[in-house]
């Protein structure tokens, strides 16, 4: 491979960052572009997870004591270092995932945007906040925020930098330590990001990495941390939620999707097709928010399909390190098997392949062509199951109502996309879609990159949100301090009966006052909301 990451010593140096307190069995790591083994990570044990959590906890106290400006300064420096060292990062991401460099660039951009955003927002979000007290003027209520402590992050392989570091940044800014369990195949990418954070000034013990199989490490990890952020499949998400419930720690679960894209009757077929190609085949379809179902209005169906199929066939496929191919390799044999089985099952049951449909071992052991299917029916696996690969199904619909109904006919609810000539109409249709994010005239990036807004899934696509204010405050505990002055809450010197009798008219008057304030906001007392 034409990259310095082919050097075993460089990878071995990165692995020094893994918390393994003894010699461990090894799990091989391969480069999907060639199928070669590039190294091996230790299969950490319960003992390693306990050591990592303990070290993280010790480092966290001091970190949380530091003024927020100091924590922000570390993340600001990390932002700059990441951009300076982007070629190195892109190379390693390509080596471990096989993705195209263009898709790898999105990872660097996302982490930079996240670092900038939360560095700006953290001081405001973490500042103590005055709230309405129980009795106006007599009760002073102030909400303070403190870090939860140690945050466990369990992440998948498809965006190895984003899905470890972008979730870690707000946790660290909030004063937490992190114990990260990256996917087996992409542990080195997470370690490189950790190295940059340390170079930027993060205390090394504050960001622990344990490597190995999730089945073995999930339980000890979730048993030792104070919050778990999980990104991965819905099936594993349920197990993580159960463990978090048993240990009574908070969790956020970013899970799978079967994302619809709607082309309305007033859409420009060419623009919609170009957007749909990007939405369907970015990261070779191994993107939780990428499109797998297309509902196209009959009046534009033929024109759209012609453009979409032609544009799909135009995507170049390849697995080399560097810019070149539009679509990269799948990440593993398991991914290739899943994608191939969905296509074969659909074809056996009568689907038509309009583009692609074949593995391309001549380009890379796990390369699979961007594939467009028509005639997909409910008994085919690809109809409802997440493929998580470069395979989409086309459906013709007769109305917006039908498109919305079929888009919502899924157990998932992660991301959707609507194409229309009228933005306002698109926004109205968006309100009817049961997904955590809906993009109008864009596939997925508009909502994902609008980092000030929450992002996550409804239904089986998850619980909780990343991005937005909640993307940081979820890593905090709130403490409300309420101080009572002048008058007590309760009867005080009044006889109970008199107090109880007076309470009802007082509550009625208060409600009337609230209604007046709702209608005439200028009558509000400063800071009084309830």
CA 77 to chain CA centroid, Å, is 23
3-state SS of 75-144 is HHHHHHHHHHCHHHHHHHHHHHHCCCHHHHHHHHHHHHHHHHHHHHHHHHHHCCEEECCCCCCCEEEEEE
Pick 205 or 254: Cβ nearer ligand NAD: 254
Q: How many helices (H) and strands (E) does the chain have?
A: 18, 18
Kindly report the number of other CB atoms within 10 A of residue 338's CB atom. Answer: 19
Annotated active-site residue 435? The verdict is no
Q: Strands 371-374 and 391-397: what pairing?
A: parallel
Q: From the candidates 44, 180, 288, 367, which is the catalytic residue?
A: 288
Quote the radius of gyration of the chain (alpha carbons, Å).
26
Q: Contact between 32 and ligand NAD (CB under 6 A)?
A: no
What does the DSSP 8-state code read for residue 352? E
**Residue pointed to by tokens 């749909």:** 276
Q: Contact between 76 and ligand NAD (CB under 6 A)?
A: no
What does the DSSP 8-state code read for residue 525? P
Pattern of binders to ligand NAD over 385-424, x per CB under 6 A? -x-x-------------------------x----------
Kindly tell me which residue out of 155, 208, 283, 410 binds ligand NAD, with binding defined by CB under 6 A.
Answer: 155
Pick 203 or 250: Cβ nearer ligand NAD: 250
Q: Contact between 369 and ligand NAD (CB under 6 A)?
A: no
Pick 226 or 320: Cβ nearer ligand NAD: 226
Report, in Å, the least distance between residue 416 CB and ligand NAD.
14
Q: From the candidates 195, 254, 292, 386, which is the catalytic residue?
A: 254
**Among residues 185, 187, 147, which one has the least CA distance to residue 164?**
187
Report CA torsion sign: 134, 137, 139, 140. Answer: positive
Annotated active-site residue 367? The verdict is no
Pick 175 or 328: Cβ nearer ligand NAD: 328
Can you tell me the distance from the alpha carbon of 233 to that of 462, in angstroms, rounded to the nearest whole number?
Answer: 9
Pick 233 or 484: Cβ nearer ligand NAD: 233
Q: Contact between 384 and ligand NAD (CB under 6 A)?
A: no
Q: How many residues bind ligand NAD (CB under 6 A)?
A: 29
Pattern of binders to ligand NAD over 440-479, x per CB under 6 A? -----------------x----x-----------------
Contact present, 171 and 151 (Cβ < 8 Å): yes
Pick 63 or 118: Cβ nearer ligand NAD: 118
Report, in Å, the least distance between residue 423 CB and ligand NAD.
26
**Which residues participate in catalysis according to the annotation?**
254, 288
Residues making contact with ligand NAD (CB under 6 A): 154-158, 163, 181, 183-184, 213-215, 218, 231-233, 236, 239-240, 254-257, 288, 386, 388, 414, 457, 462
């Amino acid at each position: 491979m034409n990259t310095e990451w082919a050097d075993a010593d460089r990878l071995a140096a990165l692995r020094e960052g893994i918390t393994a307190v003894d010699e461990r069995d090894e799990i091989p790591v391969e480069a999907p572009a060639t199928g070669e083994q590039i190294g091996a990570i230790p299969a950490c044990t319960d003992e390693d997870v306990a050591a990592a959590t303990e070290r993280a906890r010790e480092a966290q106290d001091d970190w949380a004591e530091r003024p927020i400006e100091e924590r922000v300064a570390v993340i600001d420096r990390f932002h700059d270092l990441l951009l300076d060292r982007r070629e190195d990062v892109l190379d390693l991401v390509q080596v471990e995932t096989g993705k195209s460099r263009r898709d790898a660039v999105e990872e660097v951009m996302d982490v930079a945007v996240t670092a900038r955003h939360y560095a700006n927002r953290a001081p405001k979000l973490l500042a103590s906040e005055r709230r309405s007290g129980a009795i106006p003027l007599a009760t002073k209520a102030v909400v303070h925020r403190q870090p939860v402590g140690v945050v466990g992050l369990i992440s998948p392989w498809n965006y190895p930098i984003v899905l470890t570091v972008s979730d870690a940044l707000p946790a660290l800014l909030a004063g937490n330590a992190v114990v990260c369990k990256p996917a087996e195949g992409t542990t080195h990418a997470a370690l490189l990001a950790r190295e940059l954070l340390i170079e930027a000034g993060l205390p090394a013990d504050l960001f622990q990495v344990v490597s190995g199989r999730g089945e073995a490490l999930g339980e000890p990890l979730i048993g030792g941390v104070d919050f778990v952020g999980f990104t991965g499949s819905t099936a594993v998400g349920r197990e993580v939620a159960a463990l978090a419930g048993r240990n009574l720690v908070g969790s956020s679960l970013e899970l799978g999707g079967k994302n619809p894209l709607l082309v309305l009757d007033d859409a420009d077929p060419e623009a919609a097709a170009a957007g749909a190609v990007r939405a369907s085949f970015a990261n070779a379809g191994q993107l939780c928010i990428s499109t797998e179902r297309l509902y196209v209005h009959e009046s534009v169906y033929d024109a759209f399909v012609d453009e979409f199929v032609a544009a799909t066939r135009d995507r170049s496929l390849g697995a080399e390190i560097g810019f070149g191919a539009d679509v990269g390799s799948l990440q593993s044999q398991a991914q290739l098997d899943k994608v191939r089985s969905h296509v074969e099952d659909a074809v056996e049951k009568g689907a038509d392949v309009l583009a692609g449909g074949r593995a391309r071992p001549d380009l890379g052991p796990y390369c699979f062509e961007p594939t467009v299917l028509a005639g997909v029916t409910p008994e085919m696996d690809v109809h409802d199951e997440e493929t998580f690969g470069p395979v989409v199904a086309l459906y013709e619909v007769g109305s917006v109502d039908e498109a919305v109904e079929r888009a919502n006919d899924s157990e998932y609810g992660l991301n959707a996309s609507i194409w229309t000539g009228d933005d306002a109409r698109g926004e109205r249709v968006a309100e009817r879609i049961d997904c955590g994010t809906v993009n109008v005239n864009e596939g997925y990036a508009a909502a994902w990159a609008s980092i000030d807004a929450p992002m996550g899934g409804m239904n089986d696509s998850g619980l909780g949100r990343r991005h937005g204010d909640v993307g940081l405050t979820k890593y905090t505990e709130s403490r409300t301090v309420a101080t009572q002055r002048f008058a007590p809450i309760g009867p005080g010197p009044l006889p109970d009966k008199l107090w109880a009798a007076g309470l009802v008219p007082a509550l009625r008057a208060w409600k009337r006052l609230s209604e007046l304030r709702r209608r005439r906001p200028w009558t509000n007392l400063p800071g009084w909301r309830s």
